[in-house]
Amino acid sequence: MPKRNRRLVLQTILIVGEGARDEAFLKHLKSLYVGRDSGVSIKIINAQGGSPYDIVIFTARQIQNVSYDRAIVVMDTDVPWLQKTANKAKKHKIKLIGVEPCIEGLMLTILNQNTRGSNHECKQRIEQIINGDLTDKRSYQDHFPKDLIDEKSESIPALKEIVSSLMKQE
């Protein structure tokens, strides 16, 4: 029987978003940047909401069960991150990336749209722009192609951090 070629996974990364939309958008970005033979295995999950501290605790529990090389949390900045949140993340070696004021605000910024107002207003604006299920990564394909993400990564620090987190680290 012929041997099958197995992919060698060199790095494993856990990325946690706050909710289902965060998870879908992050999975879309992963589909743009992480190929089958990239040497990186990325698991993206959603923490199903909660405070920033709750999300860090959720992530810490995930990495207790599975050994990841890196763990990243992408969170809204509308609720202040308390020092205990930063301390817990540091203790568990979890990188925190803040999106202003929320993931929908980041999407609006990428599309050169107004991000003023509350999270709720940002969510409503992005729903008007993207016609589809915002919890499905395929909904983002037409509005967020790789060339746009590449371009905007140069001027949007949070996006640059997210994209670089998807890459293999030497």
Starting at the earlier edge strand, list the strands of the sheet with 70-76.
Answer: 40-46, 11-17, 70-76, 94-99
Burial of 6 (0-12, 13-18, 19+ CB in 10 A): exposed
pLDDT beyond 90 at 141: yes
* Banded pLDDT at 170 (limits 50, 70, 90): low
pLDDT recorded at residue 155: 97
Q: Where are the domains of the chain?
A: 11-99+134-165
For residue 65 the two structure tokens come to: 């069960």
pLDDT recorded at residue 168: 75
Which CA distances in Å does 54 have to 5, 28, 100?
41, 25, 19
Distance (Å, whole) CA 60 – CA 89: 8
pLDDT beyond 60 at 1: no
H or E, element range at 105: helix 103-110
pLDDT beyond 60 at 111: yes
pLDDT recorded at residue 117: 85
Q: What's the average model confidence in pLDDT over 58-81? A: 93
pLDDT digits (tens, 9 = 90+) for 6-64: 656 589 999 999 999 999 999 999 999 998 888 899 999 999 999 999 999 999 999 99
CATH of region 11-99+134-165, choose from 1.10.3470, 3.40.1000, 3.40.50, 1.10.287: 3.40.50
